[in-house]
Amino acid sequence: MSKPQVELLGISNAIVDVLCHVEPEFVSQFGNPPGSMTLIDRDDAERIYDMMGPATESAGGSVANSVACFASLGGEAAYIGRVAEDQLGRIFNHDMASLDVDVRLPEETRAAPTARCHVLITPDGERTMQTFLGACTEIAETDVTVDTVGAPKLLLMEGYVWDTPEGPAAMQAAITHTRAARGRVALSLSDSFCVERHHEAFLALAEGDADLVIGNEGEVRALFGGDDLDTVRGRAAASGKLVVMTRHEHGSEVFQGKEHVVQAADTVDRVVDSTGAGDAWVAGFLFGVARGYALRDATALATQCATLALSQIGARPQPSALAALVSD
Amino acid sequence: MSKPQVELLGISNAIVDVLCHVEPEFVSQFGNPPGSMTLIDRDDAERIYDMMGPATESAGGSVANSVACFASLGGEAAYIGRVAEDQLGRIFNHDMASLDVDVRLPEETRAAPTARCHVLITPDGERTMQTFLGACTEIAETDVTVDTVGAPKLLLMEGYVWDTPEGPAAMQAAITHTRAARGRVALSLSDSFCVERHHEAFLALAEGDADLVIGNEGEVRALFGGDDLDTVRGRAAASGKLVVMTRHEHGSEVFQGKEHVVQAADTVDRVVDSTGAGDAWVAGFLFGVARGYALRDATALATQCATLALSQIGARPQPSALAALVSD
């Protein structure tokens, strides 16, 4: 029996964030550019953790953050992501279920440990990420069936899943089941390096099965190419898809054929923590899309969600604060 | 072979905090007074966790927080507390070891799960705690030997440990080994309900083996009795011990025979998070005591540590910020 229809089904790498404040030298010793996300193996994860200072743990992951925020806004949401039956896996699934997100994969007993992302925060606020994918790498095509996908109005796929062995096949299955149920398909580009790693696949999606393509300026540029921003804009518009391009303090732009929405960012007195601001933006935007808002109104709600995320600590703003945005 | 001498050895319940923002009704349904700490069993812990919203996890525990801050100040510290060999236990011990605290008990494979404290934070900032002691209840007299205690200058005992079956015997062993090494013994009173639960034992310590007695106003009052504050003060002074009484925004007072230090609290523009402020105070004070500061100077450093804790999120202020207090 299929799961009931939800407004949003997210499929992504299910990750617990391990946040630690470090000095710039701590980051530079690994040779990864500040702000980047690097995949590491279990031994390196242990090694980095041993070197790290005291940390704070909380459920994270880009699309998972968006799904959590979407549910906090009052949207009906479901989630597919692979965690192990360990304490971090329990934390991840708890935090989703506590927001009434329908968690469609149970914790897996035989899996590698639940994924974690070591988020190294330098005094300038930059975050450099070292991710051990663990159980995420075990997501299989057989996890993504007509039963687990159900009939979502919107499917949100995370680009990072293409980094896992069966991720591309699993995503194709998700697309097939969503399309069969007349749902729409959104691709989150994840990061510009991820777009470079999977450029052919992502471009094929943008020209084919994806109805929405979501990314920040760097990611959209990496996908469509273009030396200057107007060229990128032109190609996004020419794709014929609903293309979202977030631009941090420069606001956001949405393209759909001839429609071009430009939304300024809110003035934020003090950015407390930028983590998850983009993910919250996506949640607000997709909530508007799912509820049939005009693009301008969906973009405005998205911006309010991002502003809220900037004013709070952590990747996922307080559910009550998000709910208040749509209760007026 | 005994462990090398350290300045501070803490023995306490090793707990991971699970922090969640809730509405007042969520707290009141359990019938526990706002601000209280209640011990719960595993089933209740599961039940409360299932009812709770999204949470953040970080290493906590009162005396453990003090030990962590003491080490951040540059003090030589060691720690005895029981965690299980699970992910939360690993997180707890990692956070200690990362500050160069000598963790003297390894994670226990056969133990109950690592303890967690569900910290329910209401919009007024009040924190109500529901604690599942798990592995902490398994601390045994045999864990507290001449090898694990070594020869600390200061032993800091947490009152809460008296809530565990072998806790009192384990603490007696710690006292014996510390005294044999000519160290001094400090008792942290933990909370006023804890003082009421173990009043006879704590008073016997205050009149006997303890050199220092540490608590807030309510705890010191619960221990010594007295209808008005001056009576409490008189009894604290008459005990002949070094007695610390913290008084939140009213500052702190220290008694030692005829010496009576009164320290005003710093003016804090904005209290970001009061969690751990008392624990940080104790760390600063004991650092001063261990280094032979005059009582007035130890109390002043303690106050600086508490002020720092008030200005930061979480139970343990940034190590670098604490270190900066004593590097000038």
In a domain, B25, yes or no: no
Beta pairing class for B242-246 and B259-263: unpaired
In tens digits, chain A (328 residues) has pLDDT values of: 456 689 999 999 999 999 999 999 999 998 888 888 899 999 999 999 999 999 999 999 999 999 999 999 999 999 999 999 999 999 999 999 999 999 999 999 987 999 999 999 998 888 899 999 999 999 999 999 999 999 999 999 999 999 999 999 999 999 999 999 999 999 999 999 999 999 999 999 999 999 999 999 999 999 999 989 999 999 999 999 999 999 999 999 999 999 999 999 998 877 777 889 999 999 999 999 999 999 999 999 999 999 999 988 788 999 999 999 998 6
Per-residue pLDDT, averaged over B187-199, amounts to 95
Which residues in chain B have their CB less than 8 angstroms from residue A314's CB? 56
Which residues in chain A have their CB less than 8 angstroms from residue B91's CB? 55, 57
In a domain, B38, yes or no: no
A·B CB contacts under 8 A: 70
Judged by CB atoms closer than 8 Å, whether chains meet at B313 and A316 is answered as no
- Residue B328: the pLDDT is 62
Q: Which of B52, B87, B311 to mutate to test the interface with A (most CBs of A within 10 A)?
A: B87
In a domain, A1, yes or no: no
Residue B297: pLDDT band with limits 50, 70, 90: very high
SS3 B126: coil
In whole angstroms, give the CA distance from residue A268 to residue A161: 33
A8 Cβ partners below 8 Å, 6+ apart? A67, A70, A75, A76, A77, A78, A152, A153, A154, A156, A286, A290
- B80 - beta bridge partners? B11
Q: How many angstroms separate the CA of residue B46 from the nearest CA in chain A? A: 11
Which residues in chain B have their CB less than 8 angstroms from residue A270's CB? none
CA A115, A70, B55: angle at the middle one, nearest 5? 50
In 10 A of CB B182, how many CB atoms? 8
SS3 B14: coil
For B98, the closest chain A residue by CA position comes to: A53
Full residue range of the structural domain in which residue B85 is found = 8-14+61-112+135-326
In a domain, B149, yes or no: yes
Judged by CB atoms closer than 8 Å, whether chains meet at B49 and A94 is answered as yes
Per-residue pLDDT, averaged over B112-122, amounts to 94
Judged by CB atoms closer than 8 Å, whether chains meet at A57 and B58 is answered as yes
Separation in Å, CA A292 to CA A7, A199, A230, A295, B79: 11, 31, 29, 9, 57
In this model, does residue B321 exceed pLDDT 80?
Answer: yes
Which residues in chain A have their CB less than 8 angstroms from residue B87's CB? 86-88, 113
Looking at residue B177, what DSSP letter applies? H
In a domain, B266, yes or no: yes
Q: What is the 3-state secondary structure (H, E, C) of A167-225?
A: HHHHHHHHHHHHHHCCCEEEEECCCHHHHHHCHHHHHHHHHCCCCEEEEEHHHHHHHHC
Residue B1: pLDDT band with limits 50, 70, 90: very low
In a domain, B191, yes or no: yes
pLDDT digits (tens, 9 = 90+) for B40-55: 999 999 999 999 999 9
In this model, does residue B279 exceed pLDDT 50?
Answer: yes
In a domain, A248, yes or no: yes
- Residue B3: the pLDDT is 65
User: Using DSSP, how many helices (H) and how many strands (E) does chain B show?
Assistant: 13, 14
Per-residue pLDDT, averaged over B104-120, amounts to 93
Give the pTM: 0.91
Looking at residue B261, what DSSP letter applies? E
- A314 - beta bridge partners? none
- Residue A1: the pLDDT is 46
In whole angstroms, give the CA distance from residue A91 to residue A83: 10
In whole angstroms, give the CA distance from residue B244 to residue B262: 10
Judged by CB atoms closer than 8 Å, whether chains meet at A316 and B49 is answered as no
In a domain, B272, yes or no: yes
In terms of Cβ atoms closer than 10 Å to its own Cβ (0-12, 13-18, 19+), residue A293 is: middle
Alpha-helical segments (H) within chain B = 24-28, 42-51, 62-72, 87-97, 146-149, 167-180, 192-197, 199-207, 217-224, 229-238, 277-290, 295-310, 319-326
Domains identified in chain A, total number: 1
B284 is written with which tokens?
């600063």
User: Using DSSP, how many helices (H) and how many strands (E) does chain A show?
Assistant: 13, 14
Q: What is the ipTM of this complex?
A: 0.86
Pick from A221-225, A270-274, B125-129, B313-317: least confident: A270-274
In whole angstroms, give the CA distance from residue B49 to residue A244: 37
In this model, does residue B252 exceed pLDDT 70?
Answer: yes
**What CATH number is given to the structural domain containing B65?**
3.40.1190.20
Compute the mean pLDDT over every residue in chain B, rounded to the nearest whole number. Answer: 94
In 10 A of CB B152, how many CB atoms? 26
In this model, does residue B190 exceed pLDDT 50?
Answer: yes
